[in-house]
Amino acid sequence: MNLIVAADANWGIGNRQKLLISIPNDQKLFREETVGKVVVLGRKTLATFPQGMPLKDRVNIVLSRNPGFTVKGAQTVHSLEELAAALSPYDTKDVYVVGGESVYRQLLPLCDRAHVTRIDHAYQADAHFPDLDRDPEWRITADSEELTYFDIPYRFVQYERIPKGSGR
């Protein structure tokens, strides 16, 4: 499975249920990576989408602890077991975890690739992503040149999980 996230210098990803910054090139990359694929997200992340509706041209699977939660245009699951069953028809290469914080933390151990927009600025954040630079199970396999959005530097970094027994 993949995950895709934009994180600031301190691995912050959101504040008060909103993204820290919207960078057009990051949004373009998100679309390019996920259109035609499966996105897995939490209920709170869904609420941040336009009109709180699932993303078009993708299979949306919402993970929610609320047993009564449903949304038109998405499949809702209430446990990791239900999620595994919902994902079973799909190739794991076509599955993208898209947030938020608790969903990333729950599903990170199941992911093999992380597409991270690293923003070289520290924002006030109340939601964070685990620091993959300090995690010995992950390594950088691709890193773009530095780009800027107004005066904010950022880059696209791809991390991959190191296969067990590879000795790094």
136 and 57, same domain (yes or no): no
107 and 136, same domain (yes or no): no
136 and 108, same domain (yes or no): no
30 and 62, same domain (yes or no): yes
Report pLDDT digits (tens) over 38-83.
999 999 999 999 899 999 999 999 999 999 999 999 999 999 999 9
107 and 154, same domain (yes or no): no
What is the pLDDT, as a whole number, of residue 163?
Answer: 85
On whether residue 69 sits in a domain, the answer given is: yes
Is residue 166's pLDDT more than 70? no
Is residue 168's pLDDT more than 60? no
Question: What distance in Å separates the CA atoms of residue 46 and residue 62, rounded to the nearest whole number?
Answer: 8
Report pLDDT digits (tens) over 10-36.
999 999 999 999 999 999 999 999 999
What is the pLDDT, as a whole number, of residue 164?
Answer: 79
* Pair 41, 150: CB distance under 8 Å: no
CATH number at residue 96: 3.40.430.10
On whether residue 6 sits in a domain, the answer given is: no
* Pair 54, 47: CB distance under 8 Å: no
Residue partners of 72: CB distance under 8 A and separation at least 6: 53, 54
If we measure between CA atoms, which residue out of 32, 33, 9, 31 comes closest to residue 21? 9
Report pLDDT digits (tens) over 71-103.
999 999 999 999 999 999 999 999 999 999 999
What is the pLDDT, as a whole number, of residue 27?
Answer: 96
On whether residue 35 sits in a domain, the answer given is: yes
- The pTM score is 0.94
If we measure between CA atoms, which residue out of 100, 114, 108, 112 comes closest to residue 157? 114
135 and 108, same domain (yes or no): no
On whether residue 108 sits in a domain, the answer given is: yes
Domain carrying residue 135: 131-162
89 and 139, same domain (yes or no): no
If pLDDT is split at 50, 70 and 90, which confidence band does 167 have?
low
On whether residue 119 sits in a domain, the answer given is: no
What is the pLDDT, as a whole number, of residue 30?
Answer: 97
Q: How many domains does the chain have?
A: 2
On whether residue 9 sits in a domain, the answer given is: no
Report pLDDT digits (tens) over 133-159.
999 999 999 999 999 999 999 999 999
Q: Beta strand pairing status for 2-7 and 95-99?
A: parallel
Alpha helix (H) ranges present in 21-144? 24-34, 43-48, 80-87, 101-107
